[in-house]
Amino acid sequence: MLGYIVRRLLWAPVLLLIVSVIVFALGHYGPGDPVLLRFGQQYTEKDADRFRENHGLNRPVYVQYGSFVWNALHWDFGESITLHPPRKVTDLLAPKLKASGQLFLAASLITIGFGVPLGFYSALKQGTWQDPVIVSGSLILNAMPVFMTAPLLIIAFALKLDWVDVSGWGGFFDRQIILPAIVIGIPGIAIFTRIMRSSTLDVLNEDYVRTARAKGVPGYIVNYRHVARISLIPILTLIGFSLSGLLGGAFIVELIFGVPGVGKFTLDALFARDFPIIMAISLIGAASLVIANLIVDILYSVTDPRIRYQ
């Protein structure tokens, strides 16, 4: 197991290096002239030369890439090329990342906190009325898109019942985070419920589980000490793959609820073709996914040491 963890730790920087090359290439060779985006049509050759000199655009490509990686490692992504006066990308991005991170954490807690117990309970109740009710509910929730659940929840809980607020943003511990976190978490709850149910049913049919029951081991010990632990292994894998889906849903939800996160900030940068911002968001997002999947892989091996990876 230690050898696997070491290999994964060594492989992560390689993935990040590949991602950095792709992000740099898209920003460097993408459409649009940074000088034109910065000054518009009103600039002189002297202005253009000074801009290229200040931003290193007149240096060889490999030197620019090296500077990009070095600066990124020091949390420096340069300045926005469309804002007047220019501002550092990190200063612009920091509060956006904080808001999106808080929303993502809340949605993840809802997804895992409801999806895993419901799936486990549904499997234990196979053959009773609870199982088909939970399965049917998960299918319905999974079929509902974000642009449908968001207005329904706003009408029900904000306008009719007046339980939560939808305007403004107060951070992780404020009521404004409840509805957007639920909207993002609903599809994940449905997926986690079905995967956890299927995994638990598979484990319940294993020989060692039947043997433990035949020997008179109490049911709660079998279910919660043995069955639950092994059933969680596919969930750990799913967490890594579901991060991209949650992030994609968060972008849309941020626009609907007016959350001051990365979603609208990214769209504005894309429309303005502000490449330093786009490159920073792309690199940070990709790095987050690589690191998260690395952590999941390590937890996967710790949870079930019998597993060996090639």
β-bridge mates for residue 6, sequence order:
none
CA dihedral (186, 187, 190, 196) in degrees, to 10, reads: -110
184, 246 contact by CB (below 8 A): yes
Q: Is the peptide bond before 234 cis (omega within 30 degrees of 0)?
A: no
- CATH code of 94-272, in short, is 1.10.3720.10
- Alpha helices (H) along 30-129: 34-39, 45-54, 61-73, 89-124
Question: Distance from CA of residue 22 to its chain's centroid?
Answer: 20
**Region of 40 on the Ramachandran plot (φ > 0 left; ψ -120 to 50 alpha; else beta):** left
Q: Domain segments of the chain: what residues?
A: 2-89, 94-272
Q: Cα separation of 199 and 191, whole Å? A: 12
Spatial distance between the Cα atoms of 89 and 78, rounded to a whole number of angstroms: 6
Return phi, psi of residue 168, to 5°.
85, 175
Is the pTM for the entire model greater than 0.85?
no
C-alpha dist (Å) from residue 309 to 7, 19, 261, 273, 305: 10, 23, 38, 42, 11
According to the model, what pLDDT value does residue 310 have?
47
Q: What Å distances lie between residue 137 and 34, 128, 151, 154, 252, CA to CA?
A: 51, 15, 19, 20, 23
Sequence-distant (≥ 6) Cβ neighbours of residue 210 within 8 angstroms: none
Closest CA to 70 of 83, 84, 56, 80: 56
**Dist. CA 57–CA 189, nearest whole Å:** 47
Q: What is the pLDDT of residues 195-237, one digit of tens each?
A: 999 999 988 888 888 888 888 888 788 888 878 888 888 887 7
Q: State the Cα–Cα distance between residues 85 and 79, nearest whole angstrom.
A: 10
Low-confidence ranges of the chain (pLDDT < 50): 309-310
Planar angle of CA 72, 57, 68, nearest 5 degrees: 10
The predicted structure's pLDDT at residue 35:
66
